Amino acid sequence: FGRLIKDIKENVSNIEKAVISVHCHNDLGLAVANSLEAIKNGATQIECTINGIGERAGNASLEEIVMALQTRKDIYHKVTRINSTQIYPISRLVSKLTGFTIQPNKAIVGKTLLPTRQVYIKLGY
């Protein structure tokens, strides 16, 4: 998927005037990975959702993308304006409003990841 974005960047004239945006579904469990590859290869907009909620198997998960970008700046070289301290509370709110239960082991926001979240907060992520 990253190669597709790279090919577009390299072969479409005046591409610098466009926003390269991706909208990945999670049917094969690759929405976040494909979104991150798109970022590495020049996409500047990722369409994603809190908790990955979306049709079929869902969409790319905002919280996973944001934390990957924040914790691996050495790889992605991108900064967001998202306040990561609000990811957990908004995830819980979305779950409550939609009725979609968050798996306990879900990356970033699952209940079993509480110690990891506390480390992220201490490190300033």
Q: Domain ranges in the chain?
A: 2-123
Q: What is the pLDDT of residues 6-57, one digit of tens each?
A: 999 999 999 999 999 999 999 999 999 999 999 999 999 999 999 999 999 9
Element (H, E) at 114: helix 114-123
Say whether domain 2-123 belongs to CATH 3.90.330.10. Answer: no
The pLDDT tens digits for 61-118 are 999 999 999 989 999 999 999 998 899 999 999 999 999 999 999 999 998 887 666 6
Q: What 8-state DSSP symbol labels residue 25?
A: B
CA 55 to chain centre: 17
SS3 assignment, position 49:
strand
